[in-house]
Amino acid sequence: MENVIGQIDRALDATSVIVAALDESSMAAPTPCREWDVRTVLNHMVGNMHFFAAALSGTDSGADHESDWLGGDPQGAYAAAAEVDRAAWHRPDALDNTVHISLGALPAPTAALVHFTELVVHGVDLAVAIGRPELADDELCGELLATMQARGGIDQFRAPGIFDAEVFVEEGEPAHRRLLGYVGREVLARTP
């Protein structure tokens, strides 16, 4: 499971490339994450990075899920949150504890996989929303998809607000498209 920490690092870096491509005009763009625009998805990601870091270090996140985590500098907010998040996952005991998040009390390795999933999927959501799916890290998307399938799938999490019903995508399609289809995103017609 220690590999998941490296995957989180890579997902933070890959998503930072996507976040760097955002501008003020893209913040209201709809995303594949139903009913959320770019700003809402990014705010959710930044807030969750703070929540995971707080849960791992036994501190308070300083705000709640509905807070404005982005302020006037979305890229700066993402960069700061990524730094805090990365440091928390690299604590020597990071994978030894139980992590209390909105899904409940999870063993840290499971929480790390949840976090990795969120970073990759929402990163792709952002890339697709701004018409830049080529920014998605297909290697990471493929790794996540393989991990989900190897662990028995995600059917138990298929519910509104988490994952919708799988959308069929041809096996030969890029990994980010197959991942979006697997988690039930219905935007594939406009995703190269």
Q: Distance between CA 101 and CA 118 in Å, rounded?
A: 13
User: Does residue 126 surpass a pLDDT of 70?
Assistant: yes
More confident residue, 192 or 177: 177
**H-only helix segments in 90-160:** 108-129, 138-150
> Under 8 Å CB-to-CB from 49, ≥6 apart: which residues?
81, 82, 84, 85
Q: For residue 1, what pLDDT is reported?
A: 46
* CB neighbourhood size of 116 (10 A): 25
Check residue 76 and give its pLDDT.
Answer: 98
CA 133 vs CA 23, 42, 76, 85, 138: distances in Å: 16, 16, 22, 25, 10
> Residue range 13-39: average pLDDT?
94
How confident is the model over 77-89, as a mean pLDDT? Answer: 97
**Confidence (pLDDT) at 81:** 97
- Residue 161, classed as helix, strand or coil, is coil
Average pLDDT over residues 108-128: 94
Q: What's the chain's Rg over C-alpha atoms?
A: 16
Distance separating alpha carbons of residues 71 and 160, to the nearest angstrom: 28
For residue 107, with 0-12 CB atoms within 10 Å meaning exposed, 13-18 middle and 19 or more buried, which class applies? middle
Write the pLDDT tens digit of every residue in 146-186.
998 888 777 666 666 677 778 888 888 999 999 999 888 87
First-residue to last-residue Cα distance in the chain: 32
pLDDT of residue 85: 96
